[in-house]
Amino acid sequence: MKHDLLVIGGGSAGLAAARTAVARGARPLMVTDGPPGGDCTFTGCVPSKTLIEAAARDDDFATGIRRVREAVARIAGTEDETALAGEGIEVLRGRAVFRSPREAEVEGRVLAANRVVIATGSEPRIPPIRGLDDLDYLTTDTVFELDALPRRLAVLGGGAIGCELAQAFARFGAEVTVVEAQERLLPGEDAEASRVLADRFKAEGITVRTGVSAARARQLEGRCRLEFDGGEPVATDRVLVAVGRAPVTAGLGLRAAGVAVEENGAIRTDDHLATTSPPGIYAAGDVTGRSLFTHAAHLMGRIATDNALRKGRRRRFLASSIPRVIFTSPEVAQVGPTEEQAARTDSDARMAYLPMSEVDRAIAAGRTDGFVKIIAARRPWLGTLGGGRVLGATIVGERAGELIHEIALARQTGMFTGRLAQTTHAYPTHAVAVQQAAAQFFTEYGGRRAHLVRSSAD
């Protein structure tokens, strides 16, 4: 049978690409060298969030890992080959290699392909630290296979993965040290969010070393030691490497397909997710290096398929509208620009600031660390009338990951902040924080006022 679309990769992006093809009445073939579901289901979101929930509930580590295996199996069952066949998606297990822009080979079988979505994902990046290869270090590919909690754990990298897993392991009872090369945890996020998280880590007994990179790793009688060019070494039982991800493109035969890659290894795409090949080959998900999140991979998969199959106007992928949540406690949630970014690009934007210590539900829950920052832009002709157009927000707090979606919707629909302030929110939910913060854009409400955005240099 001739297929209308070849999808390479069975992760979030590949699944969305194939499902969109079916929805458009096309016949997709999905080639994947791992089980459908990819990183998110097996080594990413699902196991990490299950472990985080178990740690927060005070489960022991063995129970946490058992829950991880159960959650992974349950979700994987909804997207395995049998389930996908029922949806009209044929799955071929194997590794795809381009032989030409119109041909890919899978386990000796040559497939003709006029339209392709490449969705081969990413893998843990391993930093060039002397001696690291001699350690039995962990990555997110192996950490969820642990059966016993290490007594001591050093986490290399204080980004999303490092912070989420450091806190979960510490809550299970491990002695955790996070080593972050930049000056603060979560260096890509709002600076105050980093400070709030660093304070919470300190209160929970997690050691944080920032502004340092390990220069050498040593294995000594079953224990590990990380050494630095300055400062004390870290003695530990296991090391978890979480210093970023590398796109998976090796061995794909991209040159034969005429597909170029960026310096960081990501497949080069335009905003329509078209590659540099002759027309018809698109890329989606982590392999594009655009926005390394499941929901972004899903959206890219849909857009890539739509653009590959449809004639006429093509859809664009805009990373700036994608919300993100780091599932630490407190959660760190972002959509649109941070205050620092807005100050650079939109210096007459205004920002409302509300500490969680002024939110009744946060007080009732005894968790008042965190804040809401809502950023609004002046509107053409109307200026700040109606409070200005919602540009985005940073929310740090226990339910920040849920609250951010009200702002994502407001941004997406071009809403002005007045709508958020005028919408009655049920008391005493955490979401009242959004209404309370939005009210700062209006003089008729008492209390705090929104102010111009500031960069750290101001």
Ligand X SMILES: Cc1cc2nc3c(=O)[nH]c(=O)nc-3n(C[C@H](O)[C@H](O)[C@H](O)COP(=O)(O)OP(=O)(O)OC[C@H]3O[C@@H](n4cnc5c(N)ncnc54)[C@H](O)[C@@H]3O)c2cc1C
Question: What residues line the site for ligand NAD (CB under 6 A)?
Answer: 127, 156-162, 164, 179-182, 187, 213-214, 242-245, 292-293, 324-327
Centroid of chain to Cα 4: 31
39 binds, among ligand X, ligand NAD, none (CB under 5 to 8 A by kind): ligand X
Q: Which is nearer to ligand X, 11 or 157 (CB)?
A: 11
Q: Which does 34 bind (CB under 5 to 8 A by kind): ligand NAD, ligand X, none?
A: ligand X
Partner from ligand X, ligand NAD, none binding residue 93, C-beta < 5-8 Å depending on class: none
Residue 39 CB, shortest distance to ligand NAD, in Å, is 9
Residue length, the chain?
458
Give the integer Cα–Cα distance in Å for 37 and 83.
Answer: 12
CB of 178 vs ligand NAD, minimal distance in Å: 9
Take residue 426 and report the two structure tokens written for it. Answer: 């049920």
CB nearer to ligand X: give 14 or 101. Answer: 14
Residue 158 interface partner, choices ligand NAD, ligand X, none, CB cut-off 5-8 Å depending on type: ligand NAD
- Shortest gap between Cβ of 351 and ligand X (angstroms)? 26
Whichever of 301 and 388 has its CB closer to ligand NAD, that residue is 301
| CA atoms lying within 13 Å on the CB side of residue 400 | 30
163 vs 421, beta carbon nearer ligand NAD: 163
Closer residue to ligand X, CB minimum distance, 14 or 388: 14
Distance in Å, CB of 265 to ligand X, minimum: 13
- Nearest distance in Å: CB 180, ligand NAD: 5
Distance CA 391, CA 453 (A): 12
| 331 neighbors 400 (Cβ within 8 angstroms) | yes
436 binds, among ligand NAD, ligand X, none (CB under 5 to 8 A by kind): none
How far apart are CB 80 and ligand X at their closest, in Å? 12
Residue 243, contacted partner among ligand X, ligand NAD, none, CB below 5-8 A by kind: ligand NAD
Map the chain to HEC letters.
Answer: CCCCEEEECCCHHHHHHHHHHHHCCCCEEEEECCCCCHHHHHCCHHHHHHHHHHHHCCCCHHHHHHHHHHHHHHHHCCCCHHHHHHHCCEEEECCEEEEECCEEEECCEEEECCCEEECCCEEECCCCCECHHHCCCECCCCHHHCCCCCCEEEEECCCHHHHHHHHHHHHHCCEEEEEECCCCCCCCCCHHHHHHHHHHHHHCCCEEEECCCEEEEEEECCEEEEEECCCCCEEECEEEECCCEEECCCCCCHHHHCCCECCCCCECCCCCCECCCCCCEEECHHHHCCCCCHHHHHHHHHHHHHHHHCCCCCCCCCHHHCCEEECCCCEEEEECCCHHHHHHHCCCCEEEEEEHHHCHHHHHHCCCCCEEEEEEECECCCECHHHCEEEEEEEEECCHHHHHHHHHHHHHCCCEHHHHHHCCCCCCCCCHHHHHHHHHHCCCCCCCCCEECCCCCC
- Residue 247's binding partner among ligand NAD, ligand X, none (Cβ under 5 to 8 angstroms by kind) is none
181 interacts with, out of ligand NAD, ligand X, none, CB within 5 to 8 A per kind: ligand NAD
Q: At what angle do helices 45-56 and 160-172 cross, to 10 degrees?
A: 40
In the bound state with ligand NAD, the residue whose beta carbon lies nearer, of 164 and 406, is 164
Least Cβ distance, residue 286 to ligand NAD (angstroms): 8
Residues lying near ligand X in the complex (CB under 6 A) are found at 8-14, 31-34, 38-40, 43-45, 48-49, 95-96, 119-122, 140, 161, 248, 252, 285-287, 292-295, 297, 327
- Partner in contact with 31, chosen from ligand X, ligand NAD, none, beta carbon below 5 to 8 Å by kind: ligand X
Of 300 and 434, the one with the shorter C-beta distance to ligand X is 300
Closer residue to ligand NAD (CB): 245 or 302: 245
Q: Answer with the entry of ligand X, ligand NAD, none that 14 interacts with (C-beta below 5 to 8 A by kind).
A: ligand X
CB of 160 to ligand NAD, least distance (A): 4
In the complex, the smallest distance separating the C-beta of residue 285 from ligand X, rounded to whole angstroms, is: 2
Closest residue to ligand NAD in the complex (CB): 159
Rounded to a whole number of angstroms, the minimum distance from the CB of residue 393 to ligand X is 18
Q: How far apart are CA 152 and CA 175, in angstroms?
A: 5
Nearest to 159 by CA among 285, 348, 324, 278: 324
Which C-beta is closer to ligand NAD: that of 118 or that of 156?
156
Measured from the CB atom, is 21 or 322 closer to ligand NAD?
Answer: 322
182 binds, among ligand NAD, ligand X, none (CB under 5 to 8 A by kind): ligand NAD
Please identify, using beta-carbon distances, which residue of 10 and 124 lies nearer to ligand NAD: 124
